Amino acid sequence: MVSVRLNAAELARCRRALIARAAFERAAMREATEDLQIAGDRIARMVVVGIDLMRRFWLPVGLLVAVTLVKRARPLLRYARTGLAIWQTVQLMRGARR
């Protein structure tokens, strides 16, 4: 009879421990879910602000990027123009021989 009471007492103790652990895990999951929700809201807010800035300033930024690329490409365009002039000159000289 003693072992039955001991087993019942041990079962009750294990049950209370499992209930406490389940409550702790539920609270931890709730906190993690709240943290993920907050992070998702912040990311969404950043995306909305970025899209709004792009809609407002796409033309000035596009012009700035184009000017920057043209400044970098200016020597290449000069070389291409020189090469085209040389090629046209050679074609004219070949045509004059015929």
Q: Output the six-digit token pair for 79.
A: 């070389």
- How much helix, strand and coil, in percent to the nearest 5, is found in the chain? 100, 0, 0
Both tokens assigned to 73: 């490409």
* Tens of pLDDT, residue by residue, the chain (98 residues): 456 666 888 999 999 999 999 999 999 999 999 999 999 999 999 999 989 888 888 887 887 777 777 777 777 778 888 888 998 898 888 887 76
How much is the pLDDT for 4? 63
CA distances to 4, 22, 87 from 36, rounded to whole Å, are 47, 21, 64
